[in-house]
Amino acid sequence: MKKLRQISVVGMGLLGASASQAILRTFSKIKTVGYSHRAVTRKKARNFGVADEIVDDIAECVAGADIVILATPIRTFEGIFEEIAGHLPDGCIVTDVGSTKVLPHRWARKMLGNNVFYVGSHPIAGSEKRGVEFARDDLFAGSSCILTKTAGTDMKALAVLRQFWSKIGCSIKVMAPDKHDRIYGRVSHLPHVAAAALINASDPEQMKFAGKGFVDTSRVASGPENVWADILLTNADNVASGIDRLIKELSRLRKAVKDRDQKQIEKLLTQARSKRAVLIKYKMKKKELL
Amino acid sequence: MKKLRQISVVGMGLLGASASQAILRTFSKIKTVGYSHRAVTRKKARNFGVADEIVDDIAECVAGADIVILATPIRTFEGIFEEIAGHLPDGCIVTDVGSTKVLPHRWARKMLGNNVFYVGSHPIAGSEKRGVEFARDDLFAGSSCILTKTAGTDMKALAVLRQFWSKIGCSIKVMAPDKHDRIYGRVSHLPHVAAAALINASDPEQMKFAGKGFVDTSRVASGPENVWADILLTNADNVASGIDRLIKELSRLRKAVKDRDQKQIEKLLTQARSKRAVLIKYKMKKKELL
């Protein structure tokens, strides 16, 4: 790997602080510099020793970085790209850990200079918890990390990031940003919407009687709303078409139930069970599930 | 507790076999007798030592029982009540572990004689796994168990079952069957339908990219389709109205996303996160979550 001396992380929430801790643990010779726009978060990050250095100024954070990782809500990226563009060293690689990729690529192309290289990263890890206090240096270990590239992506920068995330413990997949957003609109953003809708459709007094099934089905709805609002806003069309598809399947089940059509109900439930069994088998084989 | 000498369990799937094992562990002086209509299941149940005795005949199973527990798919109950009615000792308490309660009460009233007492039980425990091989003597420990009663329910029989399930490790709630079905239509059957619809709306190739969120949100869809078809069929109107409500909430989120209405998206996601936080806090306090 290209000799890296400094990696800077902008944003000290769960993902940024976990990335920083993972770098500390994995690359003893690389200096990590962290930044948060909130003083209280910077203080916590210092107390937890999340990075070698936590600085008060974003320009200072990225100055001297070989890699800059954005770990803030997605809709801040455009402004941050603009803000840091003039402070990035030549040849710097800029990436992020955001859950949508089409708009970050567009903003990077618009805001960053030709002297730096943007590649999208999306480590498929996280938690419904938020904040630096829940950061873990192994949050990304054993996860997939999607790298996104376009026709203009620098292949050397992509190779550096591939090696970087691999050493953190991720298995790497590379795809175009639009393909990424289509897929994750369905397998991540849609489940979030479904979980939130399920909770919103539920009566608080009735929920008290719920068992583990309800708790698991709704778990992701406990995620931070600002992060998730940004995800839904930056992938709106894919999310909306996913909701349409989900409503179609719900309506199909509703009809079968209303008609007391046992054969059709069993057919739809069997389809779901079988498809999920294939998924679980695949995930077990790939060691992506315990 | 009334001196119990024999408890018989009809059905040796996950729930029946787990109930039987829990009785073996908890009540050393009570004889447990198990029955399954499938020879292969009876053989497995014998090999696993799930009950003191596994018999080949349902009449033989219930003869001499102080309590009979049905642990078969709900829509078999009517036929089983009819089949066993003539073989139940006077004063026998009949219950079940089914997930809906209105129809079992109706069938019991119709099929069972006045010499026996029916009370509904619904231990809120289970797993997406199925079969005697996954049975655990602690499956019900720490769970709620809903007992259902109507105006005609024998209060002594209810008291016996209350004590029985308490000793198994459940905390008891008593309610009317129609209230039970309304509540569980929303907090259990609707999440199942939502999980199945989410899987059915998903592309198998795209699902391979899913993370833990998708896996958790869809977990319950791996449940056995025959058991769940019976649940949905015997609670059809509540399930259908739950689906209507869920579709309404999904449509509300869809509109906010399509309109790029950040404020409304955040409002709906905040509502879900807050409601779930209250739920989790309640469950932790009640020690119903680890």
Q: What is the 3-state secondary structure (H, E, C) of chain B?
A: CCCCCEEEEECCCHHHHHHHHHHHHHCCCCEEEEECCCHHHHHHHHHHCCCCEEECCHHHHHCCCCEEEECCCHHHHHHHHHHHHHHCCCCCEEEECCCCCHHHHHHHHHHCCCCCEECEEEECCCCCCCCHHHCCCCCCCCCEEEEECCCCCCHHHHHHHHHHHHHHCCEEEEECHHHHHHHHHHHHHHHHHHHHHHHHCCCHHHHCCCCHHHHHHCHHHHCCHHHHHHHHHCCHHHHHHHHHHHHHHHHHHHHHHHCCCHHHHHHHHHHHHHHHHHHHHHHHHCCCCC
Span A175-233, pLDDT tens digits: 999 999 999 999 999 999 999 999 999 999 999 999 999 999 999 999 999 999 999 99
- The predicted pLDDT at position A10 comes to 98
Q: Which of B215, B233, B249 is opposite residue A200, by nearest beta carbon?
A: B249
Quick one: how far is CA A197 from the chain centroid?
A: 21
* pLDDT exceeds 60 at position B1: no
With contacts defined as CB-CB under 8 Å, which chain A residues touch B252? Answer: 197, 200
Q: Min CA distance, B239 vs chain A (Å)?
A: 8
Nearest to A145 by CA among A97, A85, A113, A193: A97
Residue B120 φ/ψ, nearest 5 degrees = -80, 140
- The predicted pLDDT at position B286 comes to 85
Which region holds residue B70: left if phi is over 0, alpha if psi is between -120 and 50, else beta? beta
Q: What are the pLDDT tens digits along chain A (290 aa)?
A: 568 999 999 999 999 999 999 999 999 999 999 999 999 999 999 999 999 999 999 999 999 999 999 999 999 999 999 999 999 999 999 999 999 999 999 999 999 999 999 999 999 987 778 899 999 999 999 999 999 999 999 999 999 999 999 999 999 999 999 999 999 999 999 999 999 999 999 999 999 999 999 999 999 999 999 999 999 999 999 999 999 999 999 999 999 999 999 999 999 999 999 999 999 999 999 887 76
The SS3 call for residue A97 is coil
Q: Per the CB < 8 Å rule, is B272 touching A201?
A: no
The residues facing A123 across adjacent strands are A145
A interface test, pick of B145, B214, B226 with most A CB neighbours within 10 Å: B214
- The bridge status of strand B120-123 relative to strand B117-118 is unpaired
For chain A, the helix, strand and coil percentages under 3-state DSSP, each to the nearest 5: 55, 15, 30
Q: Write out the two tokens for A62.
A: 């990225």
Q: Is A270 on the interface with B (CB under 8 A)?
A: yes
Q: Write out the two tokens for A136.
A: 């873990």
Q: Which of A200, A246, A257 is opposite residue B201, by nearest beta carbon?
A: A246
Q: What is the DSSP letter of A33?
A: E
B interface test, pick of A205, A208, A287 with most B CB neighbours within 10 Å: A208
- The predicted pLDDT at position B128 comes to 75
Q: Which of B195, B258, B277 is opposite residue A240, by nearest beta carbon?
A: B258
- The predicted pLDDT at position B130 comes to 84
CB atoms within 10 A of CB B233: 21
d(CA B55, CA B53) in angstroms, rounded, equals 6
Q: Which of A213, A266, A282 is opposite residue B192, by nearest beta carbon?
A: A213
- The predicted pLDDT at position B2 comes to 60
Kindly list the distances between the CA atom of residue A172 and the CA atoms of A99, A148, A149, A158, B212, in Å, as whole numbers in the listed order: 15, 10, 13, 11, 17
Q: Is B196 on the interface with A (CB under 8 A)?
A: yes
Nearest to B9 by CA among B39, B42, B48, B43: B42
Q: Write out the two tokens for A262.
A: 């046992």
Q: Per the CB < 8 Å rule, is B218 touching A246?
A: no
A interface test, pick of B248, B275, B286 with most A CB neighbours within 10 Å: B275
| pLDDT bucket at B48, cuts 50 / 70 / 90 | very high
CB atoms within 10 A of CB A82: 13
d(CA B62, CA A95) in angstroms, rounded, equals 68
Q: Is B284 on the interface with A (CB under 8 A)?
A: no
Q: Which of B 199-238 lie inside 8 A of A, CB atoms?
A: 199-204, 206-226, 228-229, 232-233, 236
Q: Which of B191, B224, B226 is opposite residue A213, by nearest beta carbon?
A: B191
Separation of first and last alpha carbons in chain B: 31
- Taking domain B180-285, whether its CATH number is 1.10.10.1150 is answered by no
Q: Per the CB < 8 Å rule, is A225 touching B254?
A: no
A interface test, pick of B130, B193, B237, B271 with most A CB neighbours within 10 Å: B193
- The predicted pLDDT at position A129 comes to 81
- The predicted pLDDT at position B288 comes to 78
Span B63-121, pLDDT tens digits: 999 999 999 999 999 999 999 999 999 999 999 999 999 999 999 999 999 999 999 99
- Looking at chain B, which residue has its C-alpha nearest residue A236? B257
Residue type, B85: A
Kindly list the distances between the CA atom of residue A203 and the CA atoms of A286, B266, B272, B276, in Å, as whole numbers in the listed order: 39, 20, 11, 11
ipTM of this predicted structure? 0.93
- The predicted pLDDT at position A223 comes to 93
Nearest to B185 by CA among B124, B150, B231, B135: B231
- Domain ranges for chain A: 6-175, 180-285
Q: Which fold, A6-175?
A: Rossmann fold (3.40.50)
Which residue has tokens 């916590």? A44
- The predicted pLDDT at position A83 comes to 98
Q: Which of B204, B260, B289 is opposite residue A275, by nearest beta carbon?
A: B204
Residue type, B7: I
With contacts defined as CB-CB under 8 Å, which chain B residues touch A173? Answer: 209
Q: Per the CB < 8 Å rule, is A200 touching B233?
A: no
Span B194-213, pLDDT tens digits: 999 999 999 999 999 999 99
Q: Which residues of B8-20 are buried (b: 16+ CB within 10 A; e: fewer)?
A: bbbbbbbbbbbbb
Q: Per the CB < 8 Å rule, is A233 touching B262?
A: yes
Which residue has tokens 């943007």? A118
Q: Write out the two tokens for B5.
A: 């000498």
